[in-house]
Structure 1
Amino acid sequence: MAAEDLDWERSKISNQDLNLMKKLGLMKKDDAIRFPSEESYPNPPMEYRVSFVDHLIRGLSAPIHDFLRGLLFVYGIQLHQTILLCLLFLPFLRMEKSKNKLSLPRTIKVPLFMKVKSQPLIKDLLRIGTQFVGYREYASKAEEKLAEANERANTLALQLEQSEKARKKAELDAVDARAEADKAKADAAGVEDLRKRLHDAETSLSEHITAQSAREEAILKRLKTQSRRFVARTAQEFQLEEPVNDPLLDALSFLEVHGSEAREGIDQAKAGLSRLFPYFFPKKEEPATFLDLAKSFNSAEDLGLKMRQENMKLIFDNYSPIPDPPEVFPSSLAKKSSVPVNLDDSSSVDLTEELKELRVQLQSVKKQSLILMEQSRESSEKEKIALQQAQDAITDKDAAVAEADAAASLYAPAANRC
């Protein structure tokens, strides 16, 4: 058996034996040698874990215990003393040899045996020796117990290893459980935060819905107001063919109808005003001459203007200048006349009177033309004012239509969500 697999066996060595070893000087250090007591099994260091029987079987070929070494030493001393005593009685043995007997005389055998046996150390050795009778069976039983103990120790070591693995696994599981617990705590905190954010979102959503409802009501009110204004101005009331049962969409539909009617009316008004007052509207092309510009303001079919121009031409054609003096009527102003001119005195007087009458007529015509121009200017200013009012009305209608379009675009996402 290996040294690490051997254990101490219970011994019957008493304290008297220990005291004897101390007296012989074989136990110099009391603490160096450890002997088991009657009640307990000691656990000495590895170098002391040997068995007596094992050494005896192996012929003392391995290191033995100090106590056994001392015991054998004492036994050797006693054996040496016994041999010396036997040598003292060799003559007696020689005397008996002649008689073919190899034994001491009876008178010498008994004192020798009694002397050896009566020594206290021999008594102790004999007593200790009797303790080893039948020790082989006890040693075999001890070896079996030792094998069982070793097997149990191996089992315990295996169980210890398994328990160590289980402990490590439990520690890892505990670490994982702790991490999961921390994660659960973080998740719980995150859930609480999410719940709070959800509550805030619901509150803000309810507030937004309330504000959206109020805004929709305000938009509906404004749309209905605009529709009533259109009805009051156009005296036209419409009915929807396919209502969607949504007040805001229905009001928007009414406003779209009124807006389309207003746009058509504006287009028609622009077309009529452009025909009535073409000079108040922008021209497509800029005229090259003033005559073309005048033609754009006054069409060729203006008979009144044509007659006035013909009358002016007749007046200037019938006019003939007086030759003397040339300073009053220059030669450049001389006109040909179909009436023959007489150069006598009476004709000159008539021409002078005619010239005066023409001057008076020209002055009156100038005054009338100035009056007509003033009247035409006033009428043109009135027309400008009327046109400006029409343009303002058109601008207001365009603004109303744009506002209706903006309201429709704002309401479209809400309608889609609905």
Structure 2
Amino acid sequence: MAAEDLEWERSKISGQDMNLLKKLGFTKKENALRFPKEESYPSPPMEYQVSFVDHLIRGLSPPIHEFLRGLLFVYGLQLHQLTPNSILHVSIFITLCECFLGVQPNWALWKRIFCIRRNGSHGVAYNIGGVVICVRPDVDYFDVKFPDSVQGWRKRWLYVHEESSDSVEYNIAPFDGRAKILRHRSWDAEATEEEKSATEALMTRIRELQNTRGKELSGIQITAYFLRIRVQPLQARKNPLWMYAGDEDVERLSKELPVKDLEKLIRRISKLSKRDTVPSSCRITPYSGANPLPENHPVFASLPPLPEGGEVEDRTVVDDDNQGTSHSESDVAGSHKSAASSEKDAESEATASTHSLPPAVSPRNKMKREEIKDSGTSKAEEIGPSEKKAVFNPYEDALVSSGDEEETPAIDATARTKNLAEANQHADALAKKLEQSEKARKKAEADAKKAKADVEKAKADAACVEDLRKRLHDAENALSDKVTAQVAREEKIISRLESQSRCFVTRTHQDYEVDGPKGDELLDALSLLEIQGDEARDGLAAAEAGLSKLFPYFFPKKEEPSTSAGLAKSFNMPQDLGLKLRQEGLKIGVEGTIALIADSQQNVDWTKVGSIREMETKEWQSLIKAAKPHSKLILSFLGVKPTPAPSTSKPEVK
């Protein structure tokens, strides 16, 4: 494994981190974030940049603010080379300028307050987080209370959507994880005397914000403010923060955080402990839509320029930090107000890369004269030509005054004639170079057109792959839902089968067990139901046979039904069929007795016999007893076998 690869490893973003990003509103916009899968080295998709969870929760959000873009360009850095505390420094500075100073982020003011240093340990310069932004030792600035260490932040990397601009100068450099950190002359840039004079009022206001009794402003208060209103300072915005419109502001990523979540987040990115009080609001009201800027408020416009004339000259890293030494972030801390705290991650090591950053791109147009005037910098002619710059200052180099013209000395005709031939030769050479440039331009246009077509094709292919991935995901979800529904359906069927089995056992008082091994609840329930069904069918067949034999006795004049249900229904009448049968038998017996008496030619007064309404039990029993010796003969005559038990019941008359 190459030395420059040591810092990159597979991203380890936890579910807690993903929930935090969702709560903070980063995932509200579709495809705003993409999380790495198994890759151990970042390979961002087209129009994506590599960032970190700890960068996002400290105020970073795509598209990146132009001030941070300018810092990356002028210092020759990539986004992953800044530490989380450095990102928080920039967020606090932009919030301070827009909300409490009422100005755009000011490059001249930035140079008065901050400087940058290398970050490393034990003689090894880091690549990820290899540069730290520090407060200058001689500047009185806000005490931010950075944590001594941001553990594991290098392992929580992800991809953020950063759309490319049509203007190449506006884009940040493409991601290069092995880019070597080289000092540029711009690292030593300091505010000039003119810039110090122009920004002195802002520095005075900063001191007032820090030291006004009862209204002291701190770095934690500024941090808590931009976290609470949910507007990311390092995001490119349509409106500055002094126009913040409250809950309806279009720049908000999410609704206002609950107090507990806000305090937990602030303690995570600062050095505050659970015992320290987290400020719920600023002691001084920030500028906003509800607290607008005063009338005629001065506006200081000063953004970090892009380096002029191509890439800024690099210098080799040597022992002395003034010439490029690698220092740990904690080595340049100095005090809690003069530098950032250490952000070393003990779990990762870093080495210098063998690749350099891509050349910085020069802007197409230099700053206008009005911008020079607003920034407080004097015109170029006010700086004597004999004054020699001690260090490179890209801010001054970017200032051009169209009115500064030198007086042209008089040239005689002889000198003109003498130089005419040289001028013609020079013109011919320029014309030849112009022709070559035109050919190169046409070739570059053709290559750019082809590259654009390739990019469009790649975008279409990526969209197709993303669509297939989405369809696969939807199919997996549908299959999962179907399996879940099938399981629920089977459970419901099993419950119903078990309920029916319990009812059967309750009615028949017979319990059954499945023969053989058990394993599938649904099949076991069906097997038990089959056993019970066989038992029920056998019982129904036996009942049908018995009822069929009894039917002629109870219904001698009716035709037997053809179905079991009809047969059972015949015996399920409201009247007592046993009583009916006995009554029919009694009727037949009476009629037979009368017929026998008539045949014996006995004289009987049938009118008196038929009018009997009530008879004493003893009298009835005595008559039966007297008739009993003759009953066997009568029954024998009728073809009925007599029963052994004597009948002593009263006649049943209906």
TM-score (norm 1): 0.30
Write 1 or 2 for the structure with the bigger share of helix: 1
TM-score (norm 2): 0.21
Write 1 or 2 for the structure with the bigger share of strand: 2
Higher relative contact order (CA 8 A, sep 6+): 2
> Which structure would you say has the larger Rg?
1
